[in-house]
Amino acid sequence: MQEEPEVSEEVVEDEEVVEQEEAVEEEEEVVEDEVVEEEAADEGEENDEEAGAEEGEEEAAGEAEDDADEESADDHEGLTEIDVVYNKRLAVRGPRNGTLQLIQEKTGVEPITECGGTFRLRGVKSARREALQAIEDIVNKGYTLFSWDDGVEEVVEVPADKIGALIGPKGSVIKKLEETFRVKLKLPDASAAPSRSAKMEALVAGSGDKVEACVQVVREILDNGFSPLTHPGTKRTEIDVDAFQKPFLIGKKGVEIKKVKEKFNVRVDLTDDGRTVVMGPKKQVDDALVHIADLLKSVEEKVQANREKAEKVAAEAAAAKAEEEAARAEAEGKAEEGEDDPDADVAC
């Protein structure tokens, strides 16, 4: 019988050591691979950031080039033409072509030429655009803001039925405003309004402080019907005329109030809140007020009778309403008592 070879303890120990060393080497290789992967990821992020920065720089450079192209386009010399209707050509030219020269000086375009109502503007794009706007304003509004060193324009809302007050007899009011403040007023066409009370836009153009002062007077005229500036010697007085006096002041088919207006040459406005405004030259207003007072005094008994009658009707209506409410409350009370009575008959 053969004996099995003996394995020494030293050989076994050597094998265990080798296995441990191999395991350590494998772990070190794994760690090295992870480190390499992390370094590669970091390098990728850095490359992405660099690429993003490069793209941003390229975009900025492209925008700068676009801006430069736009600026060069504005600086490009060119020609713009505008046809002006016959009755506006003189206004565009101005006395001795003064308006055209003003536009040239303000915008920097070359001397403006005209042929058959066609005005030619030569120069850089921005200058031609400003000159074109100036001519269009003259045609559509009757002025250009280049006419003033600090020209401004303000919009004022005007009820359609008060546009005539700003014009005045034979244009006296608007003429006074334009001469006093050295402004231009562009008033809308009242006939184009959908209703008499419709709000329309008026334009006031001129130097800043002058425009502001003119607008104040315009609003004064709209509120009161006149201004001491445009209507010197004019007086405006308010009197109380209640709902019972008003029919007698108006008269049948407006006869009485028409008589006051024509006899004293004043304006009389009756409002729904009981105020009556009389406006006109001071002496005529005073005389008209005396006439109105006498008229109302002469019908005082009739007015009082109508007032007492209306008060009686109102009192009777109030009493009837109170009785009706009391009856309703009583009926509701009885109904509630019936619901609470346990002995009440129940219908089968």
Question: What CATH number is attached to the domain comprising 215?
Answer: 3.30.1370.10
Of 142-156, 232-246, 263-277, 310-324, which one has max mean pLDDT?
142-156
136 with 158, same domain: the answer is no
Domain boundary among 142, 167, 184: 142
167 with 137, same domain: the answer is no
Query: Is residue 200 very low, low, confident or very high in pLDDT (cuts 50, 70, 90)?
Result: very high
Is position 25 within any domain?
A: no
By mean pLDDT, which of 72-86, 206-220, 276-290, 297-311 is the weakest?
Answer: 72-86
Is position 206 within any domain?
A: yes
Dihedral, CA atoms, 201, 202, 205, 208, nearest 10 degrees? -70
Domain boundary among 107, 142, 177: 142
Is position 172 within any domain?
A: yes
Given a cut of 70, whether residue 327 has pLDDT beyond it is yes
Tell me how many domains the chain contains. 3
pLDDT at position 35 is 47
Per residue in 198-237, is it b (16+ CB within 10 Å) or e — as a string?
Answer: eebebbbbbbeebbebbbebbeebbeebbbebbbeebbbe
Is position 19 within any domain?
A: no
By mean pLDDT, which of 70-79, 115-124, 170-179, 305-314 is the weakest?
Answer: 70-79
Q: What percent of the chain has pLDDT over 70?
A: 76
pLDDT at position 51 is 54
Q: Shortest CA distance to 241 belongs to which of 212, 274, 287?
A: 274
Is position 181 within any domain?
A: yes
Given a cut of 50, whether residue 10 has pLDDT beyond it is no
Q: Shortest CA distance to 186 belongs to which of 212, 154, 210?
A: 154
d(CA 238, CA 268): 10
pLDDT digits (tens, 9 = 90+) for 128-169: 999 999 999 999 999 999 999 999 999 999 999 999 999 999
157 with 220, same domain: the answer is yes
Is position 23 within any domain?
A: no
Query: Residue by residue, what is the 3-state secondary structure of the chain?
Result: CCCCCCCCHHHHHHHHHHHHHHHHHHHHHHHHHHHHHHHHHHHHHHHHHHHHHHHHHHHHHHHHHHHHHHHHHHCCEEEEEEECCHHHHHHHHCHHHHHHHHHHHHHCCCCCEEECCEEEEEEEHHHHHHHHHHHHHHHHHCCCHHHCCCEEEEEEEEEHHHHHHHHCHHHHHHHHHHHHHCCEEECCCHHHCCCCCCEEEEEEEEEHHHHHHHHHHHHHHHHHCCCCCCCCCEEEEEEECCCCCHHHHHCHHHHHHHHHHHHHCCEEEECCCCEEEEEEEHHHHHHHHHHHHHHHHHCHHHHHHHHHHHHHHHHHHHHHHHHHHHHHHHHHHHHHHHHHCCCCCCCC
Query: Is residue 5 very low, low, confident or very high in pLDDT (cuts 50, 70, 90)?
Result: very low
Is position 272 within any domain?
A: yes
Average pLDDT over residues 84-105: 96
Is position 257 within any domain?
A: yes
Average pLDDT over residues 62-69: 54
163 with 105, same domain: the answer is no
Given a cut of 60, whether residue 226 has pLDDT beyond it is yes
Q: Which residue has the tokens 């009686």?
A: 312
Structure tokens at 114: 């005209």
249 versus 69: which is more confidently predicted?
249
Q: What percent of the chain has pLDDT over 90?
A: 56
Domain boundary among 142, 169, 196: 142
Which domain covers residue 174, as residue numbers?
A: 151-224
